[in-house]
Amino acid sequence: MTDPQPPGDESVDPALIATVHELELHAAELGWDQKSRLYALARTVDLAAREPELARALGLDGDAADDSLIPIEQELDASVEFETILASITWPPEVEGCATVVERLVLPPEVDAEIPEDPQAALEFAQEHPDRQEVRIVVAARRGGATYCALRLRAHDEDTSVVGGPDLVPEMIAMLRATLEGDAPEEMPT
């Protein structure tokens, strides 16, 4: 995975980067055409202190790195659009951060003006466009502002072709950060 940040950069969060790598590799093992996933991120030592039996079952002991993170997958309602779910979430204080794994179609920037305004028509346009690319996106954000992303194109589905960096998917980063800020969630549609 490519990491464009120089060594010693204070914005680098090794625990968050390691978690994104772990989630990306797990998603790769599951293959393509997977549902969107959302994870709460807990500090491993905090989880071990709060849930000692769970920690033992997971093979976590007192030697766990103080700043390592453990992802906890959340149950999602598949009938609700993923972005709507994100807009409705706020995390309790013990959640250190959150991460998501999504698959999307991307188009080259030169076709932006051709994309229809209607969301369904835009989806059909993207699905039928000859230059579309399928991409798996892993994005994580931590309280305090650290973020990290990983991208894997289906056309280049090798571990060595995954691209990583702190700000590769600004819109998803903003959505995840909003869930950590504690604003009142919007009402979910019923």
What are the pLDDT digits (tens) for 101-136? Answer: 999 988 777 888 888 888 788 878 877 888 888 999
**pLDDT band at residue 8 under the 50/70/90 scheme:** very low
Per-domain boundaries in the chain: 14-180
What are the pLDDT digits (tens) for 88-101? Answer: 999 999 899 999 99
**pLDDT band at residue 6 under the 50/70/90 scheme:** very low
- CA dihedral of residues 163, 168, 171, 177 (deg, nearest 10): 100
Q: Is the pTM of this model over 0.75?
A: yes
